[in-house]
């Protein structure tokens, strides 16, 4: 009877496995391949653009900050439980109350068990370090706004050095690799795996690479501010002449000279595209000199992005 029960259980297990997961068998068919291709496409599709990279880092930074705060709250709660539980237990002894003493001791013991099991202090530190790394990346990406390229006239965009634009195109890939590294290190830290600190030579090499990249970046953007400012001014002169000419031929076209009003959608309706459109509008409303300054900051930030990201990883590892 026992053998029959084991046999039937095995058959049921295999039948359920067959129905739900073909990987129980040493088979690899076309359907498996298509599923893996689709899964791989989802992974490699993010981020596709620099705007995707910025939004990914900004969003992940906030999530990690929130996670770190939640662990701090949990740590505080367990400490409070331990304190008040111990206070109740002592009070119970002083008052010769067995019930009060037992309740207090139970609360204190429970807080210790929670702290030992979930280790909020360890989790808080791990999430805080990950958040620091993402904040570092966020600060690097902040001046690299794709909306600037949308807002600048074509002549002004052409003033940006080709080497800077080549480095700009690599930002999504670099960001994806960075986020993956931070995620893997966070997972290791949460499983109590000690991460090795970078050596002094590693830091020196990264710093040397950053210094070299910074020198090149300054060279590529030495007169970018002036060039972009002049290009924007020339474009605006042409646009104003065209608007005046149009307004002269038709009174209804006089509104062409009125700058558009930039309206940021509500938090419930905002999207990556609407956010970018709003930023484009704001940049176009700035003076040529201000746009030139933004372009120079953009070029310099792009020029040192890769090396700065490497420093972010190493200096916030421990």
What lies within 8 Å, CB to CB, of 196 at 6+ separation is none
Query: Average of pLDDT values for 113-118?
Result: 42
Specify if 8 maps to a domain.
no
Specify if 159 maps to a domain.
yes
| Residue pLDDT, tens place only, 188-222 | 877 766 667 788 888 888 889 999 999 999 999 99
Placement of tokens 């530190």 in the chain:
125
Helix 98-118 to helix 50-94 angle (10° resolution) is: 160
* Residue-number span of the structural domain to which 156 is assigned: 145-164+218-261+271-304
DSSP 47: S
Question: Are residue 158 and residue 237 in the same domain, yes or no?
Answer: yes
Which of 45, 66, 41, 67 minimizes the C-alpha distance to 56?
A: 45
Dig out the tokens for 25 from the structure: 């068998």
Q: Which of 143-152, 232-241, 278-287 has the lowest mean pLDDT?
A: 232-241
- What is the distance between the alpha carbons of residues 314 and 318, in angstroms, rounded to a whole number? 8
Question: Are residue 244 and residue 150 in the same domain, yes or no?
Answer: yes
Residue 4: helix, strand or coil by DSSP?
helix
Query: Average of pLDDT values for 102-121?
Result: 45
State phi, psi for 46 to the nearest 5 degrees: -125, 130
Question: Are residue 58 and residue 153 in the same domain, yes or no?
Answer: no
Question: Are residue 234 and residue 151 in the same domain, yes or no?
Answer: yes
Q: What is the pTM of this model?
A: 0.69
Question: Are residue 91 and residue 149 in the same domain, yes or no?
Answer: no
Question: Are residue 279 and residue 226 in the same domain, yes or no?
Answer: yes
Comparing 153 with 191, the larger pLDDT belongs to 153
Classify each residue of 195-225 as buried b or exposed e, where b means 16 or more C-beta atoms within 10 Å of its C-beta: eeebeeeeeeebeebbeebeeebeebbeebb
Q: Is the pLDDT of residue 245 over 70?
A: no
State the pLDDT at residue 296: 96
Helix 288-303 to helix 200-220 angle (10° resolution) is: 150
Helices (H), the chain: 2-20, 30-44, 50-94, 98-118, 120-141, 146-151, 154-157, 162-169, 171-190, 200-220, 224-249, 272-284, 288-303, 305-315
Specify if 9 maps to a domain.
no
């Amino acid at each position: 009877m026992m053998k029959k029960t084991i046999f039937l259980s095995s058959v049921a297990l295999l039948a359920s496995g067959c129905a739900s997961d073909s990987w129980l068998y040493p088979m690899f068919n076309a359907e498996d391949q298509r599923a893996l291709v689709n899964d791989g496409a989802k992974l490699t599709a993010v981020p596709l653009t620099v705007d995707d990279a910025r939004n990914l880092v900004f969003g992940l930074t906030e999530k990690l900050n929130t996670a770190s705060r939640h662990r701090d709250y949990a740590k505080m709660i367990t400490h409070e439980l331990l304190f008040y539980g111990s206070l109740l237990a002592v009070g119970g002894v002083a008052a010769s109350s067995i019930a009060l003493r037992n309740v207090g001791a139970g609360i204190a013991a429970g807080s210790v068990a929670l702290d030992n099991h979930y280790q909020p202090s360890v989790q808080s530190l791990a999430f805080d370090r990950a958040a620091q790394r993402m904040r570092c990346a966020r600060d690097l990406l902040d001046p690299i706004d794709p909306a600037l390229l949308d807002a600048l006239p074509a002549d002004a965009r052409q003033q940006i050095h080709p080497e800077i634009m080549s480095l700009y195109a690599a930002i999504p890939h670099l960001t994806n690799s960075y986020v993956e590294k931070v995620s893997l290190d966070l997972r290791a830290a949460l499983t109590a795996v000690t991460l090795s600190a970078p050596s002094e030579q590693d830091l020196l090499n990264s710093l040397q690479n950053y210094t070299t990249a910074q020198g090149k970046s300054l060279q590529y953007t030495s007169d970018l501010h002036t060039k972009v400012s002049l290009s924007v001014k020339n474009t605006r002169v042409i646009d104003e002449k065209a608007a005046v000419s149009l307004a002269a031929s038709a009174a209804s076209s006089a509104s062409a000279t009125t700058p558009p009003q930039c309206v940021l959608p509500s938090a419930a309706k905002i999207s990556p595209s609407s956010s970018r459109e709003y930023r484009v509008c704001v940049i176009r409303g700035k003076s040529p000199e201000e746009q030139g300054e933004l372009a120079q900051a953009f070029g310099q930030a792009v020029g040192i992005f890769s090396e700065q990201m490497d420093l972010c990883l190493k200096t916030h590892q421990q």
